Amino acid sequence: MSDIPAELKYIASHEWVRLEADGTVTVGVTDHAQDALGDVVYVELPEIDVVLSAGDEAGVVESVKAASDIYTPLSGTVIAVNSTLEDAPEQVNSDPYGDGWFFKLRLADAGELEELLDADAYAEVCDAEG
């Protein structure tokens, strides 16, 4: 059973979102996703200041097995990326909700947060995938 922290929000393509105290959000991929991917060997991150719409491709994560697109769960401007993943992509496996984060957004529309899945709803998505 994978780890699905109750305080985070999710989308069905296996990204997680954490709302920070300053109103920005941090995005990464879930424990379920990293387990399915296997060892991560390369991560392509978005550019700082790029404006994204919810559902846009925001990067790529490559594992020993395959390449997968990373989607942004929310619309906004990229204000930070986790450049430590360039040299230590294995952080996505070892700490998907911590050191393995991908990027931070300044939200265009905080109302979009309401459309995300909570932990229970995301757990159902994972269960359905088996």
Q: Cβ(88)–Cβ(111) under 8 Å?
A: no
Residues that bind another protein (CB under 8 A): 38-39, 41-42, 60, 62, 64-67, 86, 90, 93
Q: Write down the least CB distance from residue 65 to another protein, Å.
A: 8
Judged by CB, which is closer to another protein: 5, or 38? 38
Phi, psi of 118 (to 5 degrees): -85, 180
Q: Cβ(15)–Cβ(55) under 8 Å?
A: no
Q: Write down the least CB distance from residue 90 to another protein, Å.
A: 7
Phi, psi of 86 (to 5 degrees): -60, -40
Q: Write down the least CB distance from residue 66 to another protein, Å.
A: 8
Judged by CB, which is closer to another protein: 57, or 118? 57
The token pair at 70 is: 């990373």
